[in-house]
A and B are shown apart, each in its own frame.
Chain A
Amino acid sequence: MKPRGNFWSKLAHGFAPSIMDGDSCQIGYTESRGVSIQIENLNKSFGDNHVLRDVNLNIEPGETFSIIGPSGTGKSVLLKHIVKLEKADSGRILINGQDINDEQPDVPQDFRYSMVFQSSALFNSLTVGENVGLWLREKRICGEIRIRRIIREKLRLVGLESKEDMRTSELSGGMKKRVAIARSLAMNPDLILYDEPTAELDPVTSDELARVIMELKREVNLTTIIVSHDLNFALYLSDRVAMMHDGQVVAIGTPEEIKKSQNPLVRKFIYTTTKGIQGERD
């Protein structure tokens, strides 16, 4: 497609030069590099409801880390703290050793994070391509020619080549999730977070999504955090898994260690999510 460069296009973009022409990007737009995350004694309450209780976690650079547990145990709230959508009552979160809530850091924060929301959170007024390129265009990161190339590349990574002109309303649930992932990838994030990625998806689509995330794990060097109550999904994808219960991390380990855990809360969760309801055992 011919890049937009006529008068009306320039007028619509306020004659800002970086968006119209050129194939270059800002110096800071580097490839993804996995980051380390330390969560220290994190606490959060909403009124009388103590949602997070002294949460401590260490996540290694490039690791795929899942947080599992029943609904209402504080998994998504924890995720929102990492992307600064919530502020902790106490405790801190360090990314590459830097406190993310430090207003005046000694060294400027040199990492990008992105989140794939449970509802995908795509913008209905924009096409698939416009959704994916939103951050690049709004932040004036690259020239228009390069942006279009990045959009195509990110959509290819999630298996949605040539879908950039589709409206988001025309997409299935699984495709929406993949567009949301492509939108996140357009930032070249060092950290990507998935909030209940398989929620509202059928098993076949969940499997497709798992393959997309697995593929990304191979092709892109980034740290991944997945919050899910889909045990199989988390165990399949993750290097390590933590289980949360009642606002606390009650178990942490590799998928094999979690499967063999003797912690009654973990066993109960595994049993109910793989066998059936708790009442069937009695």
Chain B
Amino acid sequence: MEGEVLKGHLDMIVLAALAAGPAHGYAVIQEIHRRSGGTFDLPEGTIYPVLHRLEKNGLLSSRWTIADSGRKRRTYTLTRRGRGALADQRAMWERFAGAIGGLFGETRHAAVRSRH
């Protein structure tokens, strides 16, 4: 998918990836890749400033934990505000997708009519 198009929706994508539960940056990237069927293929580092910004805006909280490997890692969790923001964005996206689907449906029907 086009990087610039994707960047406009990164906040929603990252919030959605964290809806299942707390995760660190690498796991968030893996989750986005898995759930999008590999469609969302951004440089992995792109999500870190997004995680930071969402945390600053109170949509995520984070803390340092120790991984099984013994390495320090930052784990992010959706806050109540973050869950609310995700629900709002999901509703908006569904309305938008429905409207675009309707437009394309009309276009397809018009094309079929013109062929007959």
| Chains A and B bind each other | no
